[in-house]
Structures are given as C-alpha cells and as structure tokens.
Chains A and B, each alone.
Chain A
Amino acid sequence: MFTDKIELKDFDKMDPEYKELLGRVLTIQADCEIGGPHLYIEKMLPAAPTKLDQLIVARTAAEEIDHFRKVARLAGDMGTDVTFVLSQPNEKRFVDAFRGLITTWEDNAVFGFLIDRIGRYQLEEFYDCSYLPLQRILPDIVTEELGHIEYGYNKTLELLSKGDQQRERVQKAIDYWYVRALDMFGRSGSTRAERYRYWGLKRRSNEQAREDYIKEVNPILESMGLKIPDPLKGRRYI
C-alpha cells in the first residue's frame, strides 16, 4: 500500500498508474459536479413551487459550479483538461444517474436527498487521501453537499405531507433514484477500485461504500413511511 502524501510538485515523479487514476477520478468528479445542474436547471429553475425554491435551485447550481471549478483547477494544474465536460450532452455523462433530465419536483427533491448523498460518499472517499491538494478542497464542498441533502430531505418530507397521491409520486421517484444511487458505487470486486485503494486515493471498496449507504438510507426511508425498493431490480452494476 502506498502511504506517502503527494503535493503538486511531486506529481511528475509519480508512477504512471497513479497519474492516470488521479486524472480519471478527478475527471469523473468534475463531470458529476456539473452534471447535476445540467439535470435540473432547465426545468426546475422555472418550475420550482415557490420563488424561494427557485432561488435555492439557483444557489445549489452555483455551489455545484463552484465544486466543478475547484476540481477542474486541481486537474488542470496536473495537466488534465476536464473542460470538455462543460459542454458534453447529458447522454455522455460518465455516470448513468446524470444521463437525462429532471422534469418533476418530486424527482428534484429525491435527487437531492439520495443522489447528493452519494456525492458526499464519493467525496468522503478522498478523506486523508494521498493527494494533499485534493484533501484541502474537501471540507467546504462536503459542507455544501450536506446542505443539498438536507434541502432534498425536507422537500421530500413536505411533499409526503400532501396526501396519498403525492406520496405515490414520491415513492415512484424513490424507486427510480434508489437503484441509480446504488449503481453509482460501481461494480463489486472492481479491480480498478482496488488500485485506487492501493494508491491511497480511496478508502473503501465499492461494495463496502454501497453497504454503508444502504445502512444509512434505508432507516431514513422507513422513518418517512416509504417502501425500500428492491436493491437488485434494474441494477446495472452489481
């Protein structure tokens, strides 16, 4: 296991596999950060239920753009250009969950509650990682992601209080996003994930992170009176 801590000045001396994996993980992270606003801005900024919600949608997008900026800066300083993700169509996003468009407020709320939580999980993988510039940008980003999760949770609760028909719509959104959330962790037993761990770029295996997520989210869903979807139905990465 690689246990050193690396600064930008050390990057050129690193093993090619380290450089490749760090460049790859930062590119995917940048794509996910900007992929969120690309999912919800078009339909949700004009359609949010109140003007305050419209402003919060805009603020959330501003924070995600800022996260993109920070990750793009790290990657760019290493010589990895991630600017192509700013203009690529949603269908080409690295992660399935970002390939589409959010068109309902239920989906927007549940996206914050379930998918921004995955964002937090992915960022937590970098805690105490071997690349120090990456460690340094984490605290502010994670704090903002926690705000997005809480907003999504509160909006989901608000929708659930509006009667059976609304509850069904929320459950439908949960059914859709839950399996996509589980898929976002990647395949169990992934050899690439093991290499990330070897180089100190991630802490957990894909299956361990997924298991931790399930243990955290399922009790919350139950406490909200929602059904836990079949964790295998519709999954692409088991």
Chain B
Amino acid sequence: MPQAAPNTEKLDEHLQEVVRALRGAVKQGVSHSNDAKTVDNAIEDCREILDVIMAGNVSEWLN
C-alpha cells in the first residue's frame, strides 16, 4: 500500500462534518421557508461555515 499524505484521514473527517453542518443549515432554512427569522439564521450559519472554509486555514481546522 502507498503511504498516505499527512492528515488525509483527519481532513476527510473534518470536511465531512463541515458538509453535514452546511446541509443541515440549508435544510433547516428550506423547510421553514415561511419563517423569516429561521431562514435568516440558516443563511447566517451557512455564511459563517463557508467563510471558514474559504479562508482555507487547514492547519487551524485540524488542530
């Protein structure tokens, strides 16, 4: 078997969590589309999560 790159498994697990949280926030917003406050909160949650991913500080995520 080849030697895996450092943090392969850790990054995979972290991103799985990120994607799960994002999907959860989107689902919350879409399923409560008549409740403006819930929708706004869901969008804000997505923005916060995505800001962290777009910043790309991988070493911070994994520590």
Contact = CB atoms under 8 A, between A and B. Distances in A.
A35 B40 CA distance: 26
A8 B8 CA distance: 14
Nearest to B51: A41
A76 interface: yes
Contact of A61 (B1, B4, B22, B39): B22
A81 interface: yes
Interface in B1-52: 1-9, 11-12, 15-16, 18-19, 22-23, 25-26, 29-30, 33, 36, 39-40, 42-43, 46-47, 50
Contact of B7 (A52, A68, A78, A83): A83
Contacts of A56: 26
Contacts of A79: 2-5
A45 B47 CA distance: 8
B4 A62 contact: no
Contacts of B19: 62, 65-66, 69
Contacts of A54: 43, 46
A37 B15 contact: no
A42 B47 CA distance: 9
A79 B46 CA distance: 32
Contacts of B40: 51
A72 B11 contact: yes
Contacts of A58: 22, 25-26, 43, 46-47, 50
Given A45-B50, A51-B29, A55-B39, A77 B56 contact: no
Contact of A73 (B12, B18, B46): B12
A66 B11 CA distance: 12
A7 to B, nearest CB: 10
A55 B15 contact: no
Interface of A: 8-9, 11-12, 37-38, 41-42, 45-46, 51-52, 54-56, 58-59, 61-62, 65-66, 68-69, 72-73, 75-81, 83, 86-88
